[in-house]
Amino acid sequence: MWREAKSAAQGETPKGGRQTGNHLLVRSGELVCALPLGAVRRVVRALPVHPLPGAGPALRGLAEFAGEPLPVLDLSRLVGAPPGAQSSYPVTVVVWAGPVDARETVGLAADAALAVAEVSPGALVGGDGALVRGEAAIGGQVVRVLDLEALGRDR
Amino acid sequence: MTGGGYLLLRRGGSLWGIANSAVTDLARQGDGAYRIATAGDDPATLVADEVLGVVRELRVWPNVSVLRCFWPEPLAGLAVHDAMPVIVVDPGRPPQALQGRGGA
């Protein structure tokens, strides 16, 4: 599963990933999140993160990725999920966040990349009108589907 | 202490850079910390746990909105040195972590 997800996410993908139904399923704490595949730049082993004094719990700190500084966020806290027993976050999912015409690279600390799955827009329920587009049942589990274009808007 | 480049500091587990031209004085205190005085319209005294030295050049990226959302400190930008992320300080608006009230 990990290899499938990794290879699917490795390519530099075109803009406008929000339109596609393909998502990368990522486990974070007790929750599975679905990230638009077009917004996923790379899945890597956890990047060394340097904390930022005074930062909120959702911001783990700064890392270096491909020679550039990269803010790394805690995916569990970002979506308000329980962190789970494991909090070492062995995986960093590097994504494009923000509007398509002003996207930024951000790291999401997570437990594992699981698989690529199709998410039908009609299957979504709920949502907060911001980062969480809604929840969908995929493979017998409830998955929180994220809109990464909303990440970085004023909170 | 004028000249080009950036003075690199460590504070609160992070690496910080400040334009060398903005630094007027650097002194080690009895507690082992460093005090860095800056020039400008609003001079400040910054605190660092460690001074790593001066780098001649630093490629500085503008701060990103995602980071501003979660950490609303004024910054001159972000950089990387020796595969380590560097927070580039705006000497006119130093972050709290360097003012002795945060970090460490």
Domain for residue B54, yes or no?
yes
Q: CB-based contacts of B68: which residues, under 8 Å, 6+ apart?
A: none
The pLDDT confidence band at residue A17, using thresholds 50, 70 and 90, is very low
Q: Which member of A69, A73, A153 has the closest CB to residue B61?
A: A69
**pLDDT tens digits, residue range A97-146?**
998 888 999 999 999 999 999 988 788 888 777 888 899 999 889 999 99
Would you say residue B2 has pLDDT above 80? no
What is the nearest CA distance from B82 to chain A, expressed in angstroms?
9
Q: Do A54 and B69 count as a contact with CB atoms less than 8 A apart?
A: no
Domain for residue B58, yes or no?
yes
Separation CA A79–CA A68 (nearest Å): 26
**Structural domain tally of chain B?**
1
CA geometry: angle A57, B58, B61, nearest 5 deg: 50
CB pairs under 8 A between A and B: 83
Domain for residue B31, yes or no?
yes
Please report, for residues A13, B42, B69, the alpha-carbon distance to residue A93 in angstroms, rounded to integers and kept in the order given: 14, 41, 19
pLDDT at A154 (0 to 100): 54
Q: State whether residue B65 sits within 8 Å of chain A by CB.
A: yes
The pLDDT confidence band at residue B4, using thresholds 50, 70 and 90, is confident
Q: What is the CA radius of gyration of chain B?
A: 13
Q: What is the pTM of this model?
A: 0.86
pLDDT at A84 (0 to 100): 65
Q: State whether residue B62 sits within 8 Å of chain A by CB.
A: no
What residues make up the domain containing B56? 6-98
- Phi first, then psi, for residue A88 (nearest 5°) are -85, -20
Mean pLDDT of chain B: 88
3-class SS of residue A11: coil
Chain A, 6 to 65: residues with Cβ < 8 Å from chain B are 50-56, 58-59, 61-64
Choose from A64, A72, A92 for mutation: most chain B CBs within 10 A: A64
Give mean pLDDT, residues A93-97: 97
pLDDT at A104 (0 to 100): 94
Give mean pLDDT, residues A56-73: 95
- The closest alpha carbon to A19, from A2, A4, A37, A32, belongs to A37
ipTM of the complex, rounded to two decimals:
0.86
Give mean pLDDT, residues B82-96: 93
Separation CA A37–CA A96 (nearest Å): 10
Would you say residue A85 has pLDDT above 80? no
**pLDDT tens digits, residue range B67-81?**
999 998 999 999 999
Give mean pLDDT, residues A28-36: 92
Find chain B residues with C-beta within 8 A of A71's C-beta. 64, 66-67, 70
Domain annotation for chain A: domains and CATH numbers: 2-150 (2.40.50.180)
* CA atoms A94, A125, A29, A82: torsion sign: positive
Q: State whether residue B72 sits within 8 Å of chain A by CB.
A: no
Q: State whether residue A101 sits within 8 Å of chain B by CB.
A: no
Domain for residue B1, yes or no?
no
